[in-house]
Amino acid sequence: MQPLIIIATPNNSWLHPEVDFPRTAEAIAEEARLCYENGATILHTHAEGKWKATIAAVRARSPILVQCGMSSLPIPERMEAFKNRPEMISIILNHHDEAFAKADFNVLHSKDELVEYVRLCKKYRVVPEWEVWHAGSIWNLNFLIKKKLLKPPYVTTLFFGWPGGTWSPPTVEEYLYRRRLMPEGCACNVSIMGAGQKEILTTAILMGDHVRVGTEDLPFDHSGKPATTHELVRETAEMARAIGRPLATVQQARKMIGL
């Protein structure tokens, strides 16, 4: 079994907007350093829109890999992220339909847009992280694979319990069902919002998949107390060690995601 990659998400909490999170480039970089020291090897960041400053600050403080989020944005609004050469960028494989505490997102992402994302990732040497919200997402991923636009490993994140029209039940049964549909050659992560997180995280770790935790996903530890992202990373790392799954180093993570 491969070592475990932990992806840290020290971003705004969509369901609990009262939860604090780092907002400046320096604050994000410091939290990223703490996440790295507690076992994370990838930072999923929104950078609060300050992509250049944030990517530079993060790299100055730790070797954690940078994954640029906000896949709801149209491609022109993501070009600054591409041009600053993060290791990864998030790309949703289907329509955005999410219902949060203070904002709803309804954005169509066509197959033509996905093809353009592939072109940009190759141009800027950025690894695409494909967001898989339901079985239709997997159809679109297979569409790209069959057109020979992608080569393995296909880095994917499976989402569970995020409210809205792309919601799926945050259950182990749903995780196992969707996991069986994934094409060969995937490096799969899981993201769970709300109840069911601990059970799916534990199952994914046991199954050899990878995990994503932080204030964006669920800003509470397994006892229900509010926690920072690096505390959630530490809790997850301790759980993995108890199960017997070693944590990935940055170099191991780079190899597993195809860098």
Q: For residue 209, give the nearest of 185, 237, 189 by alpha carbon.
A: 189
> Residue 198 domain-assigned?
yes
pLDDT along the chain (259 residues), means of 10: 97 97 98 98 98 98 98 97 98 97 95 98 98 98 98 98 97 98 98 96 98 98 96 98 97 97
Tokens of 137: 């997402």
User: Residue 109 is part of which domain span?
Assistant: 6-257
Q: How many domains does the chain have?
A: 1
> Residue 72 domain-assigned?
yes
User: Where residue 89 sits, what CATH number does that domain have?
Assistant: 3.20.20.70
Specify the pLDDT at position 160: 98
> Residue 47 domain-assigned?
yes
126-140 b/e (C-beta count within 10 Å ≥ 16 → b): bbbbbbbbbeebbeb
Residue 33 to residue 222: CA distance in whole angstroms: 23
> Residue 245 domain-assigned?
yes
Specify the pLDDT at position 1: 87
Q: What is the pLDDT of residues 120-167, one digit of tens each?
A: 999 999 999 999 999 999 999 999 999 999 999 999 999 999 999 999
> Residue 1 domain-assigned?
no
> Residue 107 domain-assigned?
yes
Neighbours of 252 (CB within 10 A): 16
> Residue 170 domain-assigned?
yes
> Residue 37 domain-assigned?
yes
